[in-house]
Amino acid sequence: MNVLVTGGAGFIGSNLVRRLAESGERVRVLDDLSTGSRDNLAGFAGAVELLEGDVRDPATVLAAMRGVEVVYHLAAMPTVARSVADPLRCNAVNVEGTLTVLLTARDLGVRRVVYASSSSVYGDQPTLPKHEDMPAVTLSPYAASKFAGESYCRAFAHVYGLETVSLRFFNVFGPRQDPSSEYAAVIPRFAGWMLAGEQPVIYGDGGQTRDFTYVTNAVEACLLAASAGREAVGEAMNVGCGGRISLLALVDVLNELLGSRLEPLFAAARPGDVRHSEADISKAARLIGYRPLVGLREGLEATVGWLSERLGEGERDAARATLAAPEALHPPGRR
């Protein structure tokens, strides 16, 4: 089977590409390398074709999708914080780019498109766990763009018969997730700081909870969604572990794994962030046979091991500078 992974040089995308290539699939990657890296695809020369380009460009997407049976659409402008800083670009990449992918897939007769959505579509509703019958309450441009992409996927399945499946990922983490970005996700950022001997910075009071999902689980969900029966077509479903942990407790676990005693620092909460998040994964279990394969602690151990190798002794001083903490921090200790 020929497959295309948009955003395949990024974090989740590169983990998916590796799994596909190792199973013998012929994989093409489309990525503009704005957040992804060629290094994430190292070791697969000849097995993976990389096209550098933008999902907003119809000609580029057409060239990338020719001869493809399944498209995994992971390309996006990531994170709530980035979308708050630049909502126009967020809309252009995440909404217009997704529409370009869907139009091209329709015109070329692609069998199925698996779309990477986000738990952010639920907003800050108090109901836990989050389930797919809840209304979308989009509190950031990123969340709005992801829900718009889902809506287009559903519409294309209904109107044009294009098979689409949308996966609402909950706080995915793991190897090849960049800890040094200004917009890095919480686990690589915390682990990166702590490996460098620095106190992790929590935005808010640390009581907020997340359903952290190891990347192997997200990859498995993508593969299941590509091969699931017609009952999954046009649907959106949660992909998580079905549990949650506070950021304060996360710091405790990382300290335990690292053998450290680093207390967090606190900064002002960020606009658009939600308080609590936990996935009801029963719909994904029913429609695509999804279940989490790797738990939180096992995933954290693997992630810390990968980051520890990446941040060798000679690189840790650079890491300290790159992972500089924000200003106006509260004193160490828990509030």
Positions marked catalytic:
142
CB 206 within 8 A of CB 239: no
CB 145 within 8 A of CB 87: no
User: 243 is written with which tokens?
Assistant: 């549990």
User: 106 is written with which tokens?
Assistant: 């329709």
Phi, psi of 236 (to 5 degrees): -120, 140
What's at 192, amino acid-wise? Answer: G
Neighbours of 309 (CB within 10 A): 9
Residue 158: closest CA among 91, 201, 224, 102 = 102
Torsion of Cα atoms, 266 then 271 then 272 then 278, to 10°? 20
Q: Give the CA count within 13 Å in the CB-facing half-sphere of 171.
A: 26
Dist. CA 209–CA 89, nearest whole Å: 29
Phi, psi of 266 (to 5 degrees): -125, 140
Dist. CA 197–CA 179, nearest whole Å: 14
Helices and strands: H and E segment counts in the chain: 12, 13
Residues whose CB is less than 8 angstroms from the CB of residue 292 and which lie 6 or more positions away in sequence, other chains included = 213, 214, 217, 240, 241, 242, 281
Dist. CA 79–CA 53, nearest whole Å: 21
